[in-house]
Chain A
Amino acid sequence: MAVKQRIETIERNPNERNKDFNEVNLGYTQELAIEEAKRCIQCPIPTCAQGCPVGIDIPGFIKKIAEKDFEGSYKVLKKYNSLPAICGRVCPQEIQCERSCVLNKVDQPISIGALERFIADWAINNNIEEDILPEKRINKKIAIIGAGPAGLTTASELSKAGFSVDMYEVFHDVGGVLIYGIPEFRLPKSIVKKEAQLLKKLGVNIFTNIPVGLAIHPKELLEKYDAIFIGVGAGTPKFMNIEGTELNGVYSANEFLTRINLMKAYKFPQNDTPVKIGEKIVVIGGGNTAMDAARSALRLGADVTVVYRRSENEMPARKEEIKHAKEEGVKFQTLTQPVRYIGDENGNLIGIECIKMELGEPDESGRRKPTPIPNSNFVIESTVAIEAIGTNPNKLLLSQFKGLELNKWGYIKADELGRTSIEKVFAGGDIVTGSATVILAMGAGKKAASAIKLALS
């Protein structure tokens, strides 16, 4: 079967985009989107939809694009996904919907993510709003703790069903990882703001700057609300805790990215929050967070090296992100593990002592286990190091929620519908699974919303 080649989206030139924080991928034009949509063969049993954690009717929305009915397409999308402009940009489609596309057998899969994004952007630019008011109001109150992807989705689903929803967020803006973690060049914050505004129009009451657990006691929430959804994420960074972790210039990726994304430290001194920018910045880790930190550091004008203890094959980051990072000039030093930070007399980082690694037998994760090569130590000169080696559950709230059962890693114990050890309390997203993806958190939020609807009907 002759299949037309996949239509690529428009990307900015690497040497131009690595100097600013503007979006890298410019998406499709109308013509390109229609052309790509026409490649979809409209499978009667769409395997792509099975690969989507929120089960979007993918052939349905794509068919409408091919027919040039963008508004109709948007309506199909929004039935399943409350944040399409975000998901179209940040989902790892290559392991989800696009991996399940039947075209993989003959050629490249349909560019589902880019089409989703195209429609969502088109709707935002044309001020299209779905018919948002619920058919009936239900006299039940729901509290959502945390305004990240899981909480935003739950709030939207329950509000559309007619529940009265109050959302509590500890930061000054909603979005969670979408605003403090994922950089502007992958996800413009204006898009997160617009999606949040839609939530307000749905009637969700958003309370920012509220540390639940300290500003509102869980007991009070349990008295006041018919159900509670906890979606506070896996926010606490891990450190390798090697010698010199306290030195100035050593950051967690969370801190570095929060300074850059949420506080816009790259605009210092126009914005008040500073960030250390060394000539040479080393990022430790191989996940998406490491790629985001490395590409952000590059945009501050630094020479950036990613240090990873396994080889590039084992890197958990999206292939596309690794490719983007390389195109922009990030260097990679694999099979390398830091063992000690070296500081000067003022407590500032000046170098990182590393050891070379080799890969042994596969471990429980199925990846080949790295082991140090004796006497292979060497020093990388660097004044800024960013650790992106994962997160732990944030204890700010969990330590206050008595009786809430946690698993052995300290995350909330919840079943597949988000039910926890406390009857009225549901949970989903990273606080249940540990660090995962935006769309999985949204999927969890959606399931918890159905479980809450069921429990309260």
Chain B
Amino acid sequence: MKNKILEKRKLAYGVHEFWIENPTVSKNAKPGQFVIFRLYENGERIPLTISAINKDSFRVIVKAIGKSTYELCRLNKGDFILDVVGPLGMPSEVKYYGNVLVVGGGVGIAAIAPIVKELLKEKNNVDVILGGRNKEYIILEDEFKNANNIYIVTDDGSLGEKAYPHQFMEKLMQEKKYDIIWAIGPSKMMKACSEVAKKHDIKIWVSLNSIMVDGTGMCGGCRVRIGNELKYTCVDGPEFDGRLVDWESFEKRLNQYREEEKIALSRYLQEVGEPTWL
């Protein structure tokens, strides 16, 4: 059967790793691409980054933030996802650059894992910064052990240095010249990292987590202003040069259904009770 959950593992509170059986996705996916899930007949379509592939299955790492992700995190090994569409989006532009800095924040760490792997295959020197709220949210550390350097920062200093990723990035860039940067994580982090990169005049790829419906370029709900152009995150991205992103309108668009999201989640929690599975 398609879309069976083969493995599920809790990585941190509300953060779960899923391996989903789907040969179409696993055989074609490249770093930077994503899938769209629909969990059940009345469900919504949600985009999730593909963070690894293995023969007939692929991995997503999900953070529970609203009704659909709570519901997904409640599923277990052996359960099925009704609809999985993918791979979608343009792959990351991975090639030989020289010195590359890759920053991952929170579940963004999962998104950078396949990119770092490919960058290393292309013989780049790759330095990695992993950032999290606290030590619990520094996930998948093992997967970066082949990087040239790995730095860990936490907001509260419970692991590694007490700093925000962009602050640590600034520090590294004082000492070392990078040819290109990737930064994936919460929009606040990507925006701050983009400002640092802009200051140093170095290209920075960010992966935008816009609100999507179809994910195939037919609705424009995920539109974002890049420089002077209107782009669709799902088919033109999701990776863009962070120096050109109109962060202000991007962040406001992320909030457009905040009230509806609250309604859906509280209604769901009333139905299922305490989310002990998170």
Give A contacts to B, CB under 8 Å. 170-172, 180, 208-211, 214-217, 235-237, 239, 241, 245-249, 251-252, 254-255, 258-259, 263-264, 267-274, 276, 346-348, 394-396
- Known contacts A215-B87, A246-B249; A172/B38 CB under 8 A: yes
- Known contacts A259-B213, A347-B249; A254/B263 CB under 8 A: no
What B residues does A171 contact at CB under 8 A? 214
Min CB distance, B261 to chain A, in Å? 8
- Known contacts A215-B28, A272-B264, A396-B235; A246/B216 CB under 8 A: no
Q: How many A-B residue pairs have CB under 8 A?
A: 129
Besides A209-B84, A246-B223, 18 new A-B residue pairs in contact (Cβ under 8 A), listed by A number: A171-B214, A211-B88, A214-B28, A215-B25, A215-B28, A236-B220, A246-B224, A247-B249, A258-B214, A258-B218, A263-B213, A269-B264, A271-B43, A274-B264, A347-B252, A394-B216, A394-B217, A394-B218
What A residues does B267 contact at CB under 8 A? 269
Taken together as a complex, chains A and B put the C-alpha atoms of A453 and B224 apart, in Å, by 45
Give B contacts to A, CB under 8 Å. 24-25, 28, 33, 38, 42-45, 67-68, 82-88, 213-214, 216-221, 223-225, 230, 232, 235, 246, 248-249, 252-253, 255-257, 260-261, 263-264, 267
Question: Do residues B220 and A252 form an inter-chain contact, with CB atoms below 8 A?
Answer: yes
Taken together as a complex, chains A and B put the C-alpha atoms of A23 and B246 apart, in Å, by 43
Question: Do residues B220 and A254 form an inter-chain contact, with CB atoms below 8 A?
Answer: yes
Min CB distance, B26 to chain A, in Å? 11
Min CB distance, A203 to chain B, in Å? 21
Min CB distance, B217 to chain A, in Å? 5
**Which of A236, A248, A271 is B218 in contact with, Cβ under 8 Å?**
A236
Q: In the complex, which of the residues A247, A252, A269, A394 has the most CB atoms of chain B within 10 Å of its own CB atom? A: A269
Taken together as a complex, chains A and B put the C-alpha atoms of A214 and B256 apart, in Å, by 29
By beta carbon, the residue of chain B nearest A241 is: B230
Question: Do residues A172 and B221 form an inter-chain contact, with CB atoms below 8 A?
Answer: no
Question: Do residues B86 and A170 form an inter-chain contact, with CB atoms below 8 A?
Answer: no
Taken together as a complex, chains A and B put the C-alpha atoms of A346 and B248 apart, in Å, by 10
Question: Do residues B252 and A346 form an inter-chain contact, with CB atoms below 8 A?
Answer: yes
Question: Do residues A214 and B252 form an inter-chain contact, with CB atoms below 8 A?
Answer: no
Question: Do residues A248 and B253 form an inter-chain contact, with CB atoms below 8 A?
Answer: yes
Taken together as a complex, chains A and B put the C-alpha atoms of A80 and B38 apart, in Å, by 37
Min CB distance, A175 to chain B, in Å? 14
What B residues does A263 contact at CB under 8 A? 44-45, 213
Question: Do residues A214 and B88 form an inter-chain contact, with CB atoms below 8 A?
Answer: yes
What B residues does A269 contact at CB under 8 A? 260, 263-264, 267
What B residues does A396 contact at CB under 8 A? 216-217, 235
Question: Do residues B216 and A211 form an inter-chain contact, with CB atoms below 8 A?
Answer: yes
Question: Do residues B220 and A255 form an inter-chain contact, with CB atoms below 8 A?
Answer: yes
Question: Do residues A274 and B38 form an inter-chain contact, with CB atoms below 8 A?
Answer: no
- Known contacts A214-B88, A264-B42; A235/B252 CB under 8 A: no
- Known contacts A211-B88, A264-B42, A268-B260; A170/B216 CB under 8 A: yes
By beta carbon, the residue of chain B nearest A255 is: B219
Nearest first, the 10 A-B pairs at minimum CB distance are A347-B252, A274-B260, A255-B219, A235-B218, A272-B44, A248-B256, A246-B249, A273-B44, A209-B85, A271-B42
